[in-house]
Structure 1
Amino acid sequence: MDLASLTIFRAVVREHGVTRAAAKLNRVQSNVTTRIKQLEEQLGTELFIRDGRRLVLSAAGETLLPYAERLLALADEARHAVKDASPSGRLRLGTMESAAASRLPGLLAQYHQTWPAVALELEIGTTGKLIERVREFEVDAALVAMPLDPASPGELFEAVPVFREELVLLTSRGHRPIHHASDITLSTLITFEQGCAYRACIEKWYIQHSIRPARVLELGSYHAIVACVAAGAGIAVAPRSVLALLADSSDIAVHPLDELGSIDTLLIWRRGHFSSALNALRDMLVKSGNAQVGRVEASAALD
């Protein structure tokens, strides 16, 4: 069982089949199929259940996958450790949409110019999904929002705060001022799917005031959320930094709410992970960020 075989196995899982895995790896399909069969022979068990042209992970395959992820991540870490300190190679960064839109464009352009040998891959998701992606070695690091899920085991992660976001309520223009939950006249909450830390904050705020929205409308982007708010479909919560990106905000009203407060965005990564590319990104994020919370405090939130 070598690293090349594990790389092929992981690619077949991620690409949902041999054809796409072969294209991803720049190999012929027959080679991928042969290597999977050889790996199964070495382990003495089937890793996939073959259902016509579909491949579904077997129980043994499900067991092997996290080990394969860990071994490949460790091998990648070892390569970085023995190479020259100059950042290079692949860096997979997960981020919330709000950070990707409002905080990262200029910073990533600067990073590419400074470290052109790094192939930076960006993945968008909610805080909950991104934590899981870091946990499963599917991204090297991620920008996520506090408070983190209490179920997230702190011993797996290290973290540093980089941005501080002020959360505000958004309504259509003409809505009366909102100082208390009872001031809200719209019954629909427009938000991202479960796993969004900002959604968790507004839902907690509702609960604290013993009310709940009659409906929740889940959308996948701030552009769609703001458009629905402007049309009067409901209310939303968003970082104030996102509003600066709007070409026209004349149809929405922004309601600062001290109870929602500020939320820190953390850069998290697997504890002990080494990568010169990640270290360079972390240093750049901290230098350009606006968070004032100390790293020790942020790390404590993960424990």
Structure 2
Amino acid sequence: MELNDLRIFQSVATHGSISKAALELSYVQSNVTARIKLLEKELQTPLFHRHKRGMILNTEGKRLLEHSREILSKVEEMKRSFQDKSNPSGILKIGIVETVIALPDILSSYHNKYPNVELSLKAGVTDLLLQKVIDMKLDGAFVTGPIRHPLIEQVEVIQERLVLVTKGNTFSMEDITTKPLLLYNKGCGYRGRLESWMKVEGIIPKQIMEFGTFGTIMGSVAAGIGITILPESSVTDLVTGGTVFCHDVPEPYREITTIFIRRKDSLLTSTLQCFIDEIVARTGLEQEESLE
């Protein structure tokens, strides 16, 4: 089995078509067909359901797709490991939760030092980003910690304080039973803290409205639609401008830590090592400045 056979297989699986895969790879269709048949013969199993309009992966094909992604990912990591370590390049795929206040400074500093690295950012909630790192679909991710998983190692980025955010300047726990909660999708660390607090207090919210972006949540809070929970640092400008108001969250739900995670058994490329070094350097600098 050749690595190129796996690339051909992935292309056919993605497009569901021999002709489209051949076009993408600049191969003749007969060559693509032959390589797929050879792969099926070698594995002694069909990989696709074939029909008039194309091809769909069967159960065995889906298994091979998972293995092929992992194999080709490892090959790419191996190639990147032989780069000039003082001048990393390539694509660095990073996951982010949207409210990491230290992120712009880290990204800007890294980009200025290593302009040959293309940063690809994927926003999401903590649970989703964690799974993508485990599946090696991301090189690393900024998430809400701590994370306890045998495959994950983590670097602390920043500690922050969670607050409830409302349009009005007063708040009581009863408001949760009369106004909607405007929250990120399930798997968000901030949401998890609020739900734990409500469970202990025996509070059932009137309604939970799920949103995918920070801007949508804050626009809805500012419009008086409901209440949310976020790091205080992420809403400082809106509070200063009088658009929204913050209210304390009690211990032990108040403090939250943002961490950077990576899969510990994956190859630590120079590109990713330099990024981690930048996180440590920038967050350390911020902590020193805050003490002055």
Task: Give TM class, smaller chain.
Answer: 0.7 to 0.9
| Residue in 2 that maps onto 1:115 | 114
| Residue in 2 that maps onto 1:271 | 264
| Residue in 2 that maps onto 1:297 | none
| 1-structure distance, mates of 2:120, 2:21 | 18
Kindly tell me: are residues 92 and 161 of structure 1, through their superposed partners in 2, closer, same or farther at Cα, counting changes over 3 Å? same
1:97 is paired with a residue whose SS is coil
| Residue in 2 that maps onto 1:96 | 97
| 2-structure distance, mates of 1:61, 1:261 | 46
Give the TM-score of the pair, scaled to structure 1: 0.81
| 2-structure distance, mates of 1:145, 1:232 | 27
Kindly tell me: are residues 115 and 231 of structure 1, through their superposed partners in 2, closer, same or farther at Cα, counting changes over 3 Å? same
Q: In the alignment, is residue 173 of structure 1 matched against residue 173 of structure 2? A: no
What letter is aligned with 2:257? D
| Residue in 2 that maps onto 1:6 | 6
Give the TM-score of the pair, scaled to structure 2: 0.84
Q: Which of the numbers 195, 202, 212 marks the counterpart of 2:194?
A: 202
Kindly tell me: are residues 5 and 110 of structure 1, through their superposed partners in 2, closer, same or farther at Cα, counting changes over 3 Å? farther
What letter is aligned with 2:94? L
Q: Answer yes or no: is the 8 Å Cα contact 1:186–1:235 preserved in 2.
A: no
| Residue in 2 that maps onto 1:287 | 281
Query: How far 1:137 moved relative to its partner?
Result: 1.3
Kindly tell me: are residues 49 and 78 of structure 1, through their superposed partners in 2, closer, same or farther at Cα, counting changes over 3 Å? same
Q: How many residues get paired?
A: 281
| Residue in 1 that maps onto 2:152 | 157
What pairs with 1:1-303 in structure 2 (closer than 5 Å)? 1-13=1-13, 15=14, 17-18=16-17, 27=26, 30=29, 35-53=35-53, 55-86=55-86, 87-99=88-100, 102-148=101-147, 154-174=149-169, 176-178=170-172, 181-182=173-174, 184=176, 186-244=178-236, 246=238, 249-259=241-251, 260-273=253-266, 274-289=268-283
Query: How far 1:188 moved relative to its partner?
Result: 1.3
Query: How far 1:37 moved relative to its partner?
Result: 4.2
Kindly tell me: are residues 32 and 269 of structure 1, through their superposed partners in 2, closer, same or farther at Cα, counting changes over 3 Å? farther
| 2-structure distance, mates of 1:43, 1:73 | 21
Q: CA RMSD of the aligned region, Å? A: 2.8
Q: Answer yes or no: is the 8 Å Cα contact 2:177–2:204 preserved in 1.
A: no
Kindly tell me: are residues 207 and 277 of structure 1, through their superposed partners in 2, closer, same or farther at Cα, counting changes over 3 Å? same
Gaps of 5+ in 2: 288-292
| 2-structure distance, mates of 1:161, 1:35 | 47
| 2-structure distance, mates of 1:165, 1:32 | 53
Query: How far 1:62 moved relative to its partner?
Result: 2.1
Gaps of 5+ in 1: 293-303
Q: Answer yes or no: is the 8 Å Cα contact 1:94–1:125 preserved in 2.
A: yes
Deviations 1:19-55 (A, max 9, x none): 77677x6645836565444433332322232354354
Q: Answer yes or no: is the 8 Å Cα contact 1:167–1:238 preserved in 2.
A: yes
Q: Answer yes or no: is the 8 Å Cα contact 1:173–1:250 preserved in 2.
A: no
Q: Greater shift after overlay, 109-118 or 122-131?
A: 109-118
| Residue in 2 that maps onto 1:295 | none
| 1-structure distance, mates of 2:159, 2:12 | 39
What letter is aligned with 1:6? L
